Amino acid sequence: MNISIFTRKEASKAKGLCVVIDVLRAFTTAAYAFSRGAKEIILVSTKEEAFKKHVQNPSLMLMGEEHGLQIPGFHFGNSPFQLQKEDLFGQTLVQRTSAGTQGAVTCTQNSGMLLASFVVAEATIRHIQKINPSELSFIVTGTKDGDEDLAFAEYASMRLQGKNVDLEPYLQRVQNSPSGRLHCDPLIPELPKEDLDLALQANRFSFAMEVTKNGNDLVARAVEINGA
């Protein structure tokens, strides 16, 4: 398995099975949405696309942020803490974020796509092992230096190479990353510490998040992984 790591700006160059990572917070938020019963999540680049889809199908719920803030008119922000007690059973959501969904929509040369964060780390690794791609690309989408996402990419890469890895130092990197530290700042209420705490709950869920094309849409669904 040939493993490469790309930044979000390089996502268009990524090939093979692409694992798009956003630990803080898009794909942690997506995982919590699936855990609350969401059926699928449509990934989009702009809020205008999201609103257009809602006009076409008012049953869709909109989730995401712009500049870290919940978009006015969206049902939810980009916050796992906000979602953790919501009843989303059978619901289709549309997600737009400034980092994670941008990486997904620009990763156009892939032969398959997964969304990743630490709350689904083990399930994601096991699913990659099952697929056993010859080419694997990790996409680090985080802003600042994105070390919270790079930590996941490096942890998963080591595991996929059959090495015994202590997870804890990688979770410490999430906490100590520029984005992680912002979530500890009480002067930034739109980035609650609770979101960071939930993002650090590694392997909380036993599903991977697989993305497929449905017409022009990128649609993510949870795939239960045995033993994860």
d(Cα 154, Cα 88) in Å, to the nearest integer? 32
N residues, the chain: 228
Structure confidence by residue, pLDDT tens digits, 169-211: 999 999 999 999 999 888 788 889 999 999 999 999 999 999 9
How does 184-210 read in b/e, with b if 16+ C-beta sit within 10 Å? eeeeeeebbbebbebbbebebbbbbbb
**48 confidence band (pLDDT: 50, 70, 90):** very high
Domain ranges of the chain: 2-224
Has residue 217 got a pLDDT over 80? yes
pLDDT of residue 170: 98
Has residue 227 got a pLDDT over 80? no
Q: What is the distance, to the nearest Å, from the Cα of residue 124 to the centroid of all Cα atoms in its chain?
A: 11
Structure confidence by residue, pLDDT tens digits, 17-40: 999 999 999 999 999 999 999 999
d(Cα 100, Cα 118) in Å, to the nearest integer? 14
All residues at 6 or more sequence positions from 146 whose CB lies less than 8 Å from its CB, including other chains: 7, 8, 140, 177, 179
Q: Find tokens 């609103």 and name the residue.
A: 51
Has residue 145 got a pLDDT over 80? no
Judge if pTM exceeds 0.85.
yes
Structure confidence by residue, pLDDT tens digits, 95-104: 999 999 999 9
**At the topology level of CATH, where does 2-224 sit?**
putative 2-phosphosulfolactate phosphatase (3.90.1560)
pLDDT of residue 193: 95
% of the chain with per-residue pLDDT over 90: 90
